[in-house]
Amino acid sequence: MNIYFIGMVISMALYIIIGGMVSRKLKSANDFYIAEGNAPTILIVGSIVASYIGCGVYMGDAGECYAGFFAALLTIITMKVVGPIYGSVFFGRYLRRSGCTTLPEYYGVRFHSTAVRKLSAVIAIISMVVYLLSVTQGLGTLMSFVTGAPYIICIVLVMITFTLISALSGSKGVLLTDTIMFAVFSSASIVGLGFIVKAAGGWFPSIEALANFDKVPGLLAWTCNLDYMYPTGIQNFIWACGYGIVWGAIASIAPWQSSRYLMAKNESVCIRSGAYAAIFLFLIEFVVNISGVFINRINPDIQDQSHAVLWTVMNRMPTIIGVVFLTGMLAAGISSSTTFLSLIGSFFTVDILGKKDKSDGLFWARVAIVAASAVVFILAYANPPSLFWIMYLGATLVACCWLPMSYASIWSKRVNKYGAILSMSLGFAGCFGVKLFTTLKGGGGPVYLDSAFLGMGLSVLGLMIGSAVTKVTPAEDDYRKMLHVRPQTERDMKELSSNIKYAQVSIVLGIAITVILLVFWALPYTRAVAR
């Protein structure tokens, strides 16, 4: 038993204890589902970021950057971090006005359709199970690599941890543990980058050396490593832009993101949380991804790219720093898992069983959580390959099924329940069908046939065709109009003025980030290539 394993076990025990303590303070089923809708900014921000950042970032994304796909992922990052801002301003605050407990409940009420509600709940649960599989695999791989313990034992330990936290404390406990975990993994990532840059020989010398890195040609080029995915730079760029939209959609309307706005204390908290979350998402993902690139200077011969960060932490960092970093990675994965499981429990109970206000609602929510964990355990036991692509499949399913319908439900006067049903159905079929076909075929096709592009296109087409079949009902139109009426309690002018300032700060930070990337990456890279 090494010190890394001890640190991980202690951290998991602490999170379970916190979850147990919160469970004693649950006052109602609504407390379990949405934390009574009274959460402050810090908890909403912490949970949004923690549910978004998982092991897939540290192992999947960082591994892809190690292999030469940094520029593509940087493109995705810069596009997706605006998701929380758009999501909070153009969807989340209106969602909160609905007074609903879950996102599927909102869709059902908005379109006055039980079918829309149940279909969206089923799709959300399937998508979250797929995404949870990638997170669980990452956690098991992480612990197994670090400790030398069998993969299956590690899977059991992490699943016991996040299942207990979710089942005991629900959303209220998840908000708190997510925020604690967010603080741990964000701090660890920033400190870890400093040690990685030092081991690589410094920032600017590393950029210059890696610009012409023979082992991985195009490591820092905008075209990426052309031996890795698509044969031309423009196809890689198109792919990156497409998935930038996908992940931006995830950050704005995915159930594990937008559900946090239902928990917010007020609309101001929604908007502030979106702005802060965007900043932290960019910071953490950029730090982790550039770390993956710099590891090529430390060891360019790591056989499994998903282990690049793990190997570096254990071999090039002081032990105590390594322990903190690895427990931070563990926290990132557990925080995502608890969010998914708590939502699965809520969606199954509230939207599929219809037990929102029933005395046995919490019982069935906990049954659903345990059942989902069991399904994920069976799938994770098989240990399917390609952690990165499983994670992207889960994300793509959500984006294709929900993005057009979600924003249309707020801003379109023409969309109706038939459009919503057809949009979700075609988006799911297109995305999952293409991915299944290419997987069975043993390879992908041209970039324009990517599952994300086809799925999104079919989703938009379904929304248009379905809504053209019949007219919007008066009930649907009246409800949409109601969402655009600001509640009397949300008309504090000081709060509104403060919200504008947050938007302005976000713009300034966006400009600052652009300048930093130009000075610390683009210019050094350009100079090195020109020599």
pLDDT in tens, 326-367: 898 888 889 888 888 988 998 999 999 988 777 777 888 889
- pTM of the complete model beyond 0.95: no
DSSP 413-466: SS--HHHHHHHHHHHHHHHHHHHHHHHHHTS---GGG-HHHHHHHHHHHHHHHH
- Decide if pLDDT at 136 tops 80: yes
Name the residue with higher pLDDT: 452 or 182.
182
Residue 41 neighbours by CB under 8 Å, 6+ apart: 264, 265, 269, 272, 273, 276
For 37, left (φ over 0), alpha (ψ -120 to 50), or beta? left
Question: What pLDDT shows up at residue 494?
Answer: 65
For residue 526, the surrounding DSSP H or E stretch is: helix 523-530
pLDDT interval class at 290 (50, 70, 90) = very high
- Decide if pLDDT at 173 tops 70: yes
Question: What pLDDT shows up at residue 228?
Answer: 61
Question: What's the rounded Cα separation, in Å, for the pair 409 and 178?
Answer: 29
What is the mean pLDDT of the segment spanning 458-463? 93
CB atoms within 10 A of CB 215: 10
The string of pLDDT tens digits covering residues 470-506 is 889 999 999 999 999 887 766 665 666 666 666 666 6
What is the mean pLDDT of the segment spanning 411-429? 93
% of the chain beyond a pLDDT of 70: 89
Render the burial of 395-413: b for 16+ CB within 10 Å, e for the rest.
bbbbbbbbbbbbbbbbebe
pLDDT interval class at 229 (50, 70, 90) = low
Question: What pLDDT shows up at residue 35?
Answer: 65
Provide the β-strand partners of residue 145.
none
Structure-token pair, residue 475: 């009930």
Question: What pLDDT shows up at residue 503?
Answer: 62
**Numbers of helices and strands, H then E, in the chain:** 24, 0
Residue 223 phi, psi dihedral angles, 5° rounding:
-75, -15
CB atoms within 10 A of CB 510: 17
Please state, in angstroms and as integers, the Cα–Cα distance from residue 57 to each residue in 61, 96, 291, 415, following that order.
5, 29, 11, 36
Residue appearing with tokens 């704005």: 252
What is the mean pLDDT of the segment spanning 185-213? 89
Residue appearing with tokens 């699965």: 344
Average of per-residue pLDDT values in the chain: 84
What is the mean pLDDT of the segment spanning 88-117? 92
pLDDT interval class at 387 (50, 70, 90) = low
- Decide if pLDDT at 508 tops 80: no
Q: Is residue 122 exposed (0-12), middle (13-18) or buried (19+ Cβ within 10 Å)?
A: middle
% of the chain beyond a pLDDT of 90: 25
Residue appearing with tokens 């702005």: 275
Architecture in CATH of 3-530 = Up-down Bundle (1.20)
Residue 66 neighbours by CB under 8 Å, 6+ apart: 292, 293, 295, 296, 302, 305, 308
Question: What pLDDT shows up at residue 25?
Answer: 76
Question: What's the rounded Cα separation, in Å, for the pair 139 and 490?
Answer: 41
Q: Which residue ranges make up each domain of the chain?
A: 3-530
CB 472 within 8 A of CB 444: no
Question: What's the rounded Cα separation, in Å, for the pair 175 and 274?
Answer: 16
What is the sign, positive or negative, of the torsion defined by CA atoms of 471, 477, 479, 483?
positive
Provide the β-strand partners of residue 168.
none
Question: What's the rounded Cα separation, in Å, for the pair 14 and 17?
Answer: 5
